[in-house]
Amino acid sequence: MTRARTTRAPLLSAALAATAAGVLLLTGCGTTAVETADAAGTVDSAECAADDTQTATGAVSLTDSLGRTVELDAPAERIVVLEWQQTEDLLTLCVAPVGAASTEDYTTYVSAETLPESTTDVGERGEPDLDTLYGLDPDLIVIEAYSADDDLLAQLEERDVPVLATIGADASGQIDNMKEVFSLLGQATGRTERADAVLAEFDQHLADAKTEVAEAALATPEFVFFDGWIESGNVVIRPYGTGALFTELGEELGLEGAWTDEINDSYGSGGVDPSYGLAQTDIEGLTAVGEANLIYSNDGTPDSYVTELAKSPVWAALPAVQQGRAFEFPPGVWGAGGPKSGEQAIDAFVDVIVGE
């Protein structure tokens, strides 16, 4: 997950990306009008083709992440979703949204679930085009919000369409939060049976991988995962510290996160996103983790920060680099995703740390 620098509390925007939370602007009128509300597409995946779980019917009443009660006459079918984790989650539940935010970037940065081409792009994450959004005739809008007075939530609540607010990150327990959001979407869509099956599969995937790591002879269990970008000609490194999803996943596998709060106090350069456990430093800051394994994302683009990183003598002198323990994650593994992105990350950790 490299960068996609917008975060509404997000994310990371870089699964990327960036830690700057932008101002929420909503386009109210005068933009694209959607004349017809087409039917939602289908999720074209082998898992969904083989899925035999049942979809509940009847009215839905649930409490969202902010403690708001959301009432639906029936499980939601025409859903517009404004963040990528929840977009991925719906697809894992075999529910195709009629609209989603930043669909092109989703396709670039998230590979766990493929978004149907029929999905309408409703604008940027956190900055939806209201004409397009409501022209899709949604029966539910799914957003990320961290408080009941969230600007976007307040504006959407002025309309009659139910809004489900989810908290995308919780540094006190990212895996638990990921599961809670996924289960919440399962309730809203009548897909609780499918959600339970997916989460059980995730738990087993994690347990199997932990056994594999435990049986491996590692030079050190310490690691730091990071992504980065180029800013004003300089490489900016974003270590995933305490409270980051990838750090928590690594630790669940039996590894030890090396970018501690103490190191961040000494080597961090600001830009910390506490909800996501993300820090910020420069190449020299990586010297603070000593012998730890280095694991990093690379989106593979010509202007990737990794190109400049490789030219740095400081980078070349790091123990992990010299000893062949600097590992590149495969592209498209979203660092703030749902269970399927989590399974991708688990597999990537095992592949790079243990070996194929």
pLDDT tens by residue, 238-252: 999 999 999 999 999
Q: Is residue 208 part of a domain?
A: no
Question: Which of the listed residues 202, 223, 243 is the one where a domain comes to its end?
Answer: 202
Number of domains in the chain: 2
Based on the fold, state whether residues 308 and 261 are members of the same structural domain.
yes
Segment 127-143 shows an average pLDDT of 96
**What integer best gives the mean pLDDT of the chain?**
88
Q: Is residue 12 part of a domain?
A: no
Residue 293 has a pLDDT of 98
Per the CB < 8 A criterion, the answer to whether 254 and 214 are in contact is yes
Segment 243-263 shows an average pLDDT of 96
**Percentage above 90 pLDDT, the chain:** 79
pLDDT tens by residue, 13-53: 333 333 333 322 333 333 333 334 565 667 888 999 999 99
Can you give the residue range of the structural domain that contains 125? 46-202
Question: Which of the listed residues 140, 175, 202 is the one where a domain comes to its end?
Answer: 202
Task: Report the alpha-carbon distance of residue 352 to residue 356 in Å, rounded.
Answer: 7
Task: Report the alpha-carbon distance of residue 34 to residue 80 in Å, rounded.
Answer: 14
Highest mean pLDDT among 123-132, 295-304, 314-323: 314-323
Segment 49-71 shows an average pLDDT of 96
Residue 302 has a pLDDT of 80
- The partner residues of 72 in beta bridges, in order of sequence, read 60
Based on the fold, state whether residues 227 and 105 are members of the same structural domain.
no
Task: Report the alpha-carbon distance of residue 215 to residue 2 in Å, rounded.
Answer: 30
The DSSP call for residue 175 is: H
Q: Is residue 33 part of a domain?
A: no
Q: Is residue 117 part of a domain?
A: yes
Q: Is residue 265 part of a domain?
A: yes
Based on the fold, state whether residues 198 and 265 are members of the same structural domain.
no
Task: Report the alpha-carbon distance of residue 110 to residue 17 in Å, rounded.
Answer: 13
Residue 301 has a pLDDT of 77
Residue 279 has a pLDDT of 94
Residue 39 has a pLDDT of 58
Question: Which of the listed residues 202, 230, 254 is the one where a domain comes to its end?
Answer: 202
Q: Is residue 142 part of a domain?
A: yes
Better pLDDT: 41 or 93: 93
Task: Report the alpha-carbon distance of residue 202 to residue 216 in Å, rounded.
Answer: 21
Give me the CATH number covering residue 183. 3.40.50.1980
pLDDT tens by residue, 197-231: 999 999 999 999 999 999 999 999 999 999 999 99
The DSSP call for residue 284 is: G
Structure confidence at residue 143 as a pLDDT band (50, 70, 90)? very high
**Percentage above 70 pLDDT, the chain:** 88
Gyration radius of the chain's alpha carbons: 20
Q: Is residue 321 part of a domain?
A: yes
pLDDT tens by residue, 337-353: 999 999 999 999 999 99
Q: Rounded to 5, what percent of the chain is helix, strand, coil?
A: 35, 15, 50
Structure confidence at residue 11 as a pLDDT band (50, 70, 90)? very low
Structure confidence at residue 158 as a pLDDT band (50, 70, 90)? very high
Alpha helix segments (H runs only) across the chain: 46-50, 84-92, 103-109, 130-135, 151-156, 174-188, 192-214, 245-252, 261-267, 305-309, 313-317, 319-322, 339-353
CA 122 centroid distance within chain: 19
